[in-house]
């Protein structure tokens, strides 16, 4: 290789290096812009509604006292389910709901972050201490659905399972005649 050829080779190498350096800088700038946009966008568009609770006082007063947990038939025919996640179980551990009915699930955590996932459906929400998670759902078919905790919540996480039992609408209405909350725990 002559001196001239090696000089030429170095020039090509320098040009290629400059090109890749430029691409790298463009990628970094784009990532920074993306991060800035995501942050600013989130600040300018907050969640439409945030409900808070005091996780240390859930059992003492308010919506999530034990007597109010479970399923309630509303005057308009819809159902509201209230539940709590805590290490390592859900209360109620078996949620009873009617088929073909709009259901609002309202849940929170008494300690750390948990998650509710209902198998075979797209229902999947986190339970964050201090906040109420609300999820709308509807089941067309009766049957039992497994409801595992889907957020790692420490050593007992894999044993944290609940269940949703969907029963016939008329059957549910029958059972809801009292004003207590319904569940299928122990049934
Ligand atoms: Cu609760 Cu994982």
Residue-wise pLDDT for 125-139, tens only, equals: 999 999 999 999 999
- Binned at pLDDT 50, 70 and 90, residue 7 comes out as confident
Looking at residue 47, its pLDDT comes to 62
Ligand 1 closest atom vs CA 151: 2
- Ligand 1 close to Cβ of residue 151 (< 6 A): yes
Return the half-sphere exposure (C-beta side, CA atoms, 13 A cut-off) of residue 7: 3
- Ligand 1 close to Cβ of residue 81 (< 6 A): no
113 CA to middle of ligand 1, Å? 7
- Binned at pLDDT 50, 70 and 90, residue 145 comes out as very high
pLDDT surpasses 80 at 41: no
Q: Which residue has the tokens 């339970």?
A: 127
- Ligand 1 close to Cβ of residue 157 (< 6 A): yes
Looking at residue 46, its pLDDT comes to 59
pLDDT tens digits, one per residue of 165-186:
999 999 999 998 877 899 998 8
28 CA to middle of ligand 1, Å? 37
- Ligand 1 close to Cβ of residue 181 (< 6 A): no
- Determine the Cα–Cα distance for residues 131 and 52; give it in Å rounded to an integer: 4
Ligand 1 closest atom vs CA 88: 1
Choose between 50 and 121: higher pLDDT. Answer: 121
- Ligand 1 close to Cβ of residue 149 (< 6 A): yes
**Cβ atoms 90, 96 nearer than 8 A:** no
Residues making up the chain, counted from first to last = 187
Beta-strand runs (E) in 34-113: 70-73, 79-86, 89-91, 94-98, 103-109
pTM: 0.73
């Amino acid at each position: 290789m002559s001196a001239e050829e090696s000089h030429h080779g170095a020039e090509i190498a320098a040009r290629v290096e400059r090109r890749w350096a430029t691409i790298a800088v463009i990628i970094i700038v784009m990532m920074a812009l993306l991060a800035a946009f995501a942050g600013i966008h989130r600040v300018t568009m907050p969640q439409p509604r945030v409900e808070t609770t005091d996780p240390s006082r859930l059992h003492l007063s308010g919506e999530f006292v034990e007597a109010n947990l479970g399923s309630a038939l509303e005057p308009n025919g819809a159902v509201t389910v209230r539940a709590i996640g805590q290490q390592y179980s859900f209360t109620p551990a078996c949620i009873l709901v009617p088929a073909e009915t709009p259901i609002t699930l309202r849940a929170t955590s008494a300690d750390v972050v948990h998650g509710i996932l209902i198998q075979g459906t797209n229902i999947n929400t986190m339970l964050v201490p201090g906040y109420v998670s609300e999820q709308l759902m509807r089941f067309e078919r009766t049957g039992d659905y497994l409801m595992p905790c889907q957020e790692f919540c420490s050593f007992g996480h894999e044993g944290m399972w609940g269940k949703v039992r969907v029963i016939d609408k008329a059957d549910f209405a029958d059972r809801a005649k009292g004003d207590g909350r319904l569940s299928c725990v122990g049934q």
